Amino acid sequence: MRFGKTLQSSIYAPWKSHYIDYPKLKLLLKESDRSSDNDEVEEWTDNDEGAFVEELLNVQLEKVHTFQVEMYKQLRERTSKCESKLEELVASTEKDKSKNAGDGAEAGVGLAGESTQNQLKEVLKELDGITREINELEKFSRINFTGFLKAAKKHDRKRGYKYRVRPLLQVRLGALPFNSEDYSPLLYRLSAMYSFVRQNMSKESNGRLQSPSDAPLDGEKYVSQKFWVHPDNLLEVKTYILRRLPVLVYNSQASNVAEGTQNDPTITSLYFDNQKFSLYTQKVERKPDASSLRLRWYGQLTKKPEILFEKKTMREGDNSEEIRFQIKEKYVQSFIRGEYKMEKTVQKIQHRQGHNNQHAEQFVQNVDVIQKFIKENNLQPVLRANYTRTAFQIPGDNRVRISLDTNLVLIREDSFDSERPCRDPDSWHRNDIDDAEMEYPFNRIRKGEISRFPHAVLEIKVREGTSEKSREWVTDLTDSHLVKEAPRFSKFVHGVAENFEDYVNSFPFWLSELENDIRKDPETAFEAEQERKAKRAEDEFAVGSLMGSRASPAFKPAIGSPVGRAMLDQSAGKAATKRALVPGLTPAVDDAEGEGESDGGGEPTGKQGAHTLAGLRSLFPTFSTSKYGRAHQQGPVQLPPGVRHPGKFIKDSGPVQVEAKVWLANQRTFIKWQHISVLLASLSLGLYNAAGEANSVARGLAVVYTLIALFAGAWGWWMYISRSKLIRERSGKDFDNILGPVVVCIGLVIALCLNFGFKV
């Protein structure tokens, strides 16, 4: 797509007049859309050059920069006003409480009052507006910055034989750095206000605050997902998350919520391995008990930060065990060599808690484990990972934890090459980096020793047992176009694969994807995700019901993802109804919290009665008691205002596509019935021929067996035809029907009992 069209599609309507006038610049450059065969050679004069340079560097650049500065100033002022409103609100509430207490009256309801809640809602609405315009301002800066570079490149390509404007533009862009604005301080202030408003507005039905209902428990487990985020989508992902979770601070102070002046911390991880890269190989090949070892600290090493020694071992089922302890910088080298065993730290623990303290014994055991691990594997520092981390979590509520790592740099830290080592073999870290306090982008590092990761790394951890409602917004984010899933991504593995290519023979699967553009169109990504979910749920239902499974689809078609909807409504005139009901399956009943789940292979408690009832009712094919069927019986879904029914679902719009195993399962069932019919017919024929004309009882029973055989054959054929029709129609009815087996079994039991009775 040409940049002119890209610019037009990216314009935020209220700010339309403040964007770069790209068509005017093309006109001044005498750039037309005519084909090259009809182009007439026009002379480019000094006046033409002066007019173009004046328009580009003075008029357009000043216009864009002035608007960006003014808009950012307005956003800061609006943010300050919101902070003042909240401060006044808290002050007035405290004043009312003091007055009521002084009068001997009962304390007021504080922030729970109706008028206070209305004010909080107004502040929240204003915060949403500020957040939205911060995103638009960042896009405004980026697209205009690109426009100036495109215009200069086009000029130099056409008129570069005599005039060059790119160097002048770079000087002006350096003096007016509208594209390098740091929005982090403003985002931290918004995060703090969002946290305050959320805590005082999120009332449950009983009037209680939605405090961390899931208190931290020992042995808690998390479901972790990793994603890549393109730099163009980074700010939008940040603002989307901070509306739900506040930003956490990594410092030694007591504050847990970020302040406006707090910067994201820089984290350095120093990974260990040997010259054979045994730990790397185990991790890539996902071998059992694969371990990794690293040193980790925050900020610059010259500031004497806390250093953590961490050993992580992967266990079965993606579970892991972690050993960590704190160590001082001056003891790291002697510890790695095995000369120091943390005796001073052990003495301090024993002095405070006693010699027979269990904590001291565990600490000594952890030290021995790590030192033994280093010695047995001949480990040394080989890779440095440096990145800036933004963490999101509600203080005291660990149900959802999110970290966003940006500016990820992976640097060689080995001393394998004795002639030209990256690190002094007598030191445990690179002194050239730490002593000089190098920071991103580490331009002084030699080429071949550094790899800069092009994306941000987003990790989302959701605690097991968290309700569907609590993590719904997380699902909207992970399903959106803003992120790309990167399962099992590892900084250590990626760094070794990039910087030690000649040392290793196996590589992670994601390396080939780095060359691709991970950005996706919002609408296309949303529709593709919903189609994929609908098809997966449909296949699960069809196969599960046919094979006797009681599993029902877990997919509930969304009525517009908030993330996707926010992106689709960027341009003016795009109505919210563009996100109409996703054509897919009828929403299934969410049974995640209402019914217990079995820990083993048996039937879930609380479901046995319902299962039996469903089996009896399945005698009538038109009446389904499954969760999917009950969802259909509940009548039409009530759609929100402005959302209309699509009329025809995506699943019904094209040719019927059902996996072959569904048809084959139906055919296998039909063949089984015919097999039973043939066996019973053979039994009845043999009995009839062996009985003779005088034995009327045996001949009568043979006729009974024949009738049962005919019923079994007819039933199998009828069920085969009926189920084939249900599959083609994608019906929500149950596929099971126990009437036929019951009739055959009862008929055989009666016939055998009569046979036995007459014989006796």
Q: What is the pLDDT of residues 327-342, one digit of tens each?
A: 999 999 999 998 888 8
Provide the CATH number for the domain around residue 271: 3.20.100.30
Residue at 204 is within a domain: no
* Model pLDDT, residue 457: 94
- One domain for residues 56 and 124: yes
Residue at 573 is within a domain: yes
Highest-scoring range by mean pLDDT, 359-363, 509-513, 536-540: 359-363
- One domain for residues 413 and 389: yes
Mean pLDDT across 652-675: 77
Q: Percent of the chain at pLDDT above 70?
A: 73
Helix H, strand E, coil C: the string for 349-400 is HHHHHCCCCHHHHHHHHHHHHHHHHHHHHCCEEEEEEEEEEEEEEECCEEEE
- One domain for residues 12 and 102: yes
Residue at 212 is within a domain: no
Mean pLDDT across 676-682: 88
DSSP element (H, E) containing 485: strand 484-485
Mean pLDDT across 386-394: 90
Query: Which string of b and e fits 734-756 if b means at least 16 CB within 10 Å?
Result: bbbbeebeeebeebbeebeeebe
CA distance 403 to 491: 14
- One domain for residues 516 and 527: no
> Measured at the alpha carbon of residue 314, what is the angle toward residues 308 and 320, in degrees to the nearest 5?
65
Beta carbons of 245 and 394 less than 8 angstroms apart: yes
- One domain for residues 244 and 140: no
Give the model confidence (pLDDT) of 238-295 as tens digits: 888 988 888 876 554 444 444 445 567 899 999 999 999 999 988 888 787 888 999 9
CA distance 382 to 282: 16
* Model pLDDT, residue 691: 76
| Between 209 and 138, the higher pLDDT residue | 138
Is the pLDDT at 54 greater than 50, yes or no?
yes
Is the pLDDT at 355 greater than 80, yes or no?
no
How far is residue 568 from each of residues 15, 16, 136, 477, measured CA to CA in Å? 17, 18, 13, 14
CA distance 550 to 431: 62
pLDDT category at 750 given cuts 50, 70, 90 is confident
* Model pLDDT, residue 384: 95
Residue at 87 is within a domain: yes
CA distance 388 to 663: 53
List the one residue out of 542, 557, 552, 525 whose CA is nearest residue 650. Answer: 557
* Model pLDDT, residue 452: 93
Q: Describe the crossing of helices 660-691 and 696-729 by its angle, rounded to 10 degrees.
A: 170
Q: End of a domain among 520, 542, 566?
A: 520
- One domain for residues 511 and 527: no
* Model pLDDT, residue 641: 61
* Model pLDDT, residue 100: 63
- One domain for residues 471 and 515: yes
| Between 78 and 634, the higher pLDDT residue | 78
DSSP element (H, E) containing 151: helix 114-159
- One domain for residues 351 and 402: yes
pTM above 0.75, yes or no: no
Residue at 446 is within a domain: yes
* Model pLDDT, residue 317: 61
Is the pLDDT at 459 greater than 90, yes or no?
yes
- One domain for residues 633 and 706: no
Give the model confidence (pLDDT) of 555-583 as tens digits: 444 434 444 444 444 433 333 333 333 33
List the one residue out of 416, 414, 418, 387 whose CA is nearest residue 403. Answer: 387
- Cis ω on the peptide bond leading into residue 441 (within 30° of 0)? yes
Q: End of a domain among 117, 150, 181?
A: 181
- One domain for residues 477 and 514: yes
CA-based Rg of the chain, rounded to a whole angstrom? 35
Mean pLDDT across 656-678: 82
Beta carbons of 266 and 433 less than 8 angstroms apart: no
- One domain for residues 608 and 727: no
Is the pLDDT at 173 greater than 60, yes or no?
yes
CA distance 275 to 418: 12
- One domain for residues 150 and 230: no
Residue at 298 is within a domain: yes
Q: How many domains does the chain have?
A: 4
Residue at 754 is within a domain: yes
The one-character DSSP state at 143 is H
Domain that holds residue 277: 222-520
Is the pLDDT at 738 greater than 60, yes or no?
yes
Q: End of a domain among 466, 500, 520?
A: 520
Residue at 476 is within a domain: yes
Is the pLDDT at 544 greater than 90, yes or no?
no
